[in-house]
Structure 1
Amino acid sequence: MTYQAFLIKYSEIGVKGKNRYIFEDALVRQIKRSLYEVDGKFIVKKQSGRIFISVEGDYDYDEAVKALQHVFGISAICPTVVVPDEGFDALADAVVKYVDEEFEDKNFSFKVMGRRANKQYPMTSMEVAAEVGARLLDAFPEMHVDVHNPDKIIYVEVRENIAIYSTEIPGPCGMPVGTAGKAMLLLSGGIDSPVAGYMISKRGVTLSATYFHAPPYTSEQAKQKVVDLAKLVAKYSGPIDLHIVNFTDIQLYIYQQCAHDELTIIMRRYMMRIAEHFAKENDCLGLVTGESIGQVASQTMQSLNCTNAVCSLPVYRPLIAFDKQDIVDISEKIDTYETSILPYEDCCTIFVAKHPVTKPKLEAIEKHEHNLDEKIDELMKQAIESVEIIKVK
């Protein structure tokens, strides 16, 4: 069957009360953005607890569905037949025709779910469901009703027109991007940080990102790997301004001046400082990292306390209590895993100490950072001024 419409369901938006229209409007904008590069002419409209997408002419069905599955806020995508409201007999005939064309084998159990969004319609939702079910039994005797555990559910929604559908393709749920402010993601080439970007964006947060590059110790392939990861996250989050910071001189200076068991913590603190600088420049309301408690030495509670201490903005860690397998599962779902495991190391893995401190004391770290006083401010300034910004779509 060729579908010329989609009914879009949302879940969490529905509990937003008087502010719901703000989230609906944001969802409409994100749907339009997602469909912009799909072949076809799509018209997106709000309608009483639903979003409707109508299509004029030919279009790529598979690409349209794939694009919609990247839009946060959508709980289900329903390919829909829409017919005009010309009375109940016409409605029932349209449902019979739909079932006849949609299901070659009619030997299944079913129930009809009616929804009367148009309160002027002369029948209630229950009456619509019962009468349509009776018409289907008359037309297809091999079908039978099971209201508790049916093989198929036939949905009939009475609105300005009549919407008929039976398929619900899962969406990513969450909240529409752009409804919860903006944050700066510390993006590396690993598995965790792209997942963190996906997770925070799922709550409606718009993203910028910062990546710390260390040539010649990290290659151009490592940089491209991060750009590719940003592109995969951007399918969900929308466009990302990726700040690529040359971190080599800062890392080498820290390596020369500080105890090697504290290298990771001190480097991480300077990454946070630089990322926060760009966050404030870009009106971000916080930083986002892929850290999970205890996963590595720099992610113990004591280590996180030391890195947090340099930030005035909040640091959001959506993966904080996740097991590694939890993170891997999500990375596979959003197609970042295969890119993340490419063998191009980032600066975090190049300068790792053999025996990093796992329970650093903040006072000691702050004291030892004074070893950097002679040159660190100038190196920070150079790194910030030489930043490369790539607009990732």
Structure 2
Amino acid sequence: MNWYLSVSFGELALKGKNRKTFEDRAVKKIMDSVKDFEIEDFYKDQGKLYIKANKEDFDEMIDHIKKVFGIVYISPVIRVGRSVEEIEKGAIQLIESKNVTEKTSFKVEAKRSDKSFPVKSPELNPKIGGAILKKFGSKMYVDVHNPDIMVYIDVKNHIYIYSDKIKGYGGLPIGSSGRGLLLLSGGIDSPVAGFLLARRGVEISALHFHSYPFTSDRAFEKVHKLAEELSYYTGKITMYSINLLPIQREINEKCRAREMTILSRRFMMRIGEEISKKHEYNALITGESLGQVASQTIESVGVINQVVSMPILRPLIGMDKTEIIEISRDIGTYETSILPFEDCCTVFLPDRPVTKPRLSDILKSEENLDVGKLVEDAINSMEIYEIEVE
């Protein structure tokens, strides 16, 4: 009998005429994720990918595959021959792999996708259940409501038997929904925003603003590490790094102090849009959540949106901090995000930032600035990094 990893696609199955394109993209990402393992064979069978490899490598392979978007769950499966006797042997082998040492309940659940198989699912369930009871005697009993072990049987072109369903993140394969430029700070929110859009199929690059020397090298190293942690899910990230300090100084000297946050944010969007035009990104992505800070009130969001013509995607806009932190912990960015190193938003931070800005006031303040030159100078001094975890 042969052990395989079964990889189940999620909403890709709903993509109609585009389904094959989405699945092929997902398969490529999955096989890239396990390229360092010895793969004997792989193929698709009715909406699932099956990978034959050394069973001893399965746990590590599953950790890699889980990070590929578009996957609902992964299961170690036994592939058996097309007879009831072979299914019985496979089910017994599956139970034996569980090392049952005390009285344990189970349930058999067969699904016959291939109607040419002569035994129907309602007939197959008691046959296989009976074989398990006969083999394991008093150790096993049937519980159809809350079993300790599920024995799934998928009757397709081949027959597969399995028990565990390890959850993936679902979503769509990276690159299937365009390209986005993530404004990546050193906080909790922006890496989560990048993760959520990547899960929807967006290819992610990052734009980071610093205020060196007011912000330290360690603050930049923190952001670089966050990009690395995000790249476990997204693949290689191009990160554009820009010193915002010259712009902040101009704002501080020539505009009202209370408007520093909003004016700085509008410059960030302008710069992001110019980079996007040159490098063909379809949208800007931010970690803003409505009402958390002065720049994230509904009035501030409106004033910030006005400065660019391209979409600004805010996947966290309706989430509270607790929800965001939960995701941050799950994807492994939280501990880095809470390291106590400052970011550019703390420079020239006003005591009482404006929370309900009027566009007319902001436009009037910007008349005091050579906006075009400030944006151009910032981009001309930009540094670019390619970040990828091997």
Whether TM exceeds 0.5 here: the answer is: yes
Matched-pair contact (CA < 8 Å) for 1:40–1:59: no
1:52 aligns with 2:50: yes
- Distance in 2 separating the partners of 1:44 and 1:284: 34
Q: 1:185 to 1:132 in 2, by over 3 A?
A: same
Q: Which residue identity lines up with residue 282 of structure 2 in the other structure?
A: L
Q: Bigger shift: 42-51 or 341-350?
A: 42-51
Q: 1:366 to 1:223 in 2, by over 3 A?
A: same
Shift of 1:270: 0.3
- Distance in 2 separating the partners of 1:86 and 1:329: 45
Matched-pair contact (CA < 8 Å) for 1:191–1:336: yes
Deviations 1:194-244, CA, capped at 9 Å, x for gaps:
010011111111111100121111111111111110111111122111111
Deviations 1:28-65, CA, capped at 9 Å, x for gaps:
122122223x443364432102121221x576333212
Q: Which residue identity lines up with residue 89 of structure 2 in the other structure?
A: D
Q: Which residue identity lines up with residue 48 of structure 2 in the other structure?
A: R
- Distance in 1 separating the partners of 2:43 and 2:217: 44
Q: TM-score, normalised by structure 2?
A: 0.94
1:158 aligns with 2:155: yes
Q: Secondary structure at the match of 1:67?
A: helix
1:110 aligns with 2:109: no
Deviations 1:227-280, CA, capped at 9 Å, x for gaps:
110111111122111111122211111111111100000000000000111122
Q: Bigger shift: 159-168 or 294-303?
A: 159-168
1:90 aligns with 2:86: yes
Matched-pair contact (CA < 8 Å) for 1:71–1:176: yes
Deviations 1:159-206, CA, capped at 9 Å, x for gaps:
333221111111112222221111111100111100100111111111
Matched-pair contact (CA < 8 Å) for 2:58–2:76: no
Kindly report which structure 2 residues correspond to 1:1-393, keeping only aligned pairs within 5 A, or say none: 4-36=3-35, 38-41=36-39, 43-55=41-53, 57=54, 60-83=57-80, 85-105=81-101, 107-142=103-138, 143-373=140-370, 376-393=371-388
- Distance in 1 separating the partners of 2:123 and 2:235: 43
Q: Which residue identity lines up with residue 386 of structure 1 in the other structure?
A: S
Q: Secondary structure at the match of 1:9?
A: strand
Q: TM-score, normalised by structure 1?
A: 0.93
Q: Secondary structure at the match of 2:74?
A: strand
Q: Bigger shift: 290-299 or 19-28?
A: 19-28
Q: Which residue identity lines up with residue 304 of structure 2 in the other structure?
A: T
Report how many residues are paired: 387
Q: Secondary structure at the match of 1:371?
A: coil
Shift of 1:86: 4.7
Shift of 1:4: 4.1
Deviations 1:349-386, CA, capped at 9 Å, x for gaps:
2231111000000111011100003xx42232121122
Where in structure 2 are there 5+ consecutive unaligned residues?
A: none
Q: Secondary structure at the match of 2:292?
A: coil
Deviations 1:284-341, CA, capped at 9 Å, x for gaps:
2111100011100110011111110011111110000111111111111111111011
Q: Secondary structure at the match of 1:344?
A: coil
Question: Alignment identity in percent?
Answer: 42
- Distance in 2 separating the partners of 1:285 and 1:257: 33
- Distance in 2 separating the partners of 1:346 and 1:121: 63
Q: 1:287 to 1:3 in 2, by over 3 A?
A: farther
Matched-pair contact (CA < 8 Å) for 1:229–1:340: yes
Matched-pair contact (CA < 8 Å) for 2:258–2:354: yes
Q: 1:19 to 1:215 in 2, by over 3 A?
A: same
CA RMSD of aligned residues (A): 1.9
Shift of 1:118: 3.1
Q: Which residue identity lines up with residue 125 of structure 1 in the other structure?
A: S
Matched-pair contact (CA < 8 Å) for 2:299–2:355: yes
- Distance in 2 separating the partners of 1:111 and 1:258: 70
Q: 1:146 to 1:104 in 2, by over 3 A?
A: closer
Q: 1:100 to 1:127 in 2, by over 3 A?
A: same
Q: Which residue identity lines up with residue 28 of structure 1 in the other structure?
A: V
Q: Which residue identity lines up with residue 49 of structure 2 in the other structure?
A: I
Q: Secondary structure at the match of 2:71?
A: coil
Q: Secondary structure at the match of 1:23?
A: helix
Q: Secondary structure at the match of 2:208?
A: strand
Q: Which residue identity lines up with residue 221 of structure 1 in the other structure?
A: R
Q: Which residue identity lines up with residue 215 of structure 1 in the other structure?
A: Y
Matched-pair contact (CA < 8 Å) for 1:177–1:206: yes
Q: Secondary structure at the match of 1:255?
A: helix
Q: Which residue identity lines up with residue 145 of structure 2 in the other structure?
A: H
- Distance in 2 separating the partners of 1:75 and 1:86: 27
Matched-pair contact (CA < 8 Å) for 2:5–2:58: no
- Distance in 2 separating the partners of 1:43 and 1:277: 46
- Distance in 2 separating the partners of 1:43 and 1:348: 51
- Distance in 2 separating the partners of 1:54 and 1:344: 46
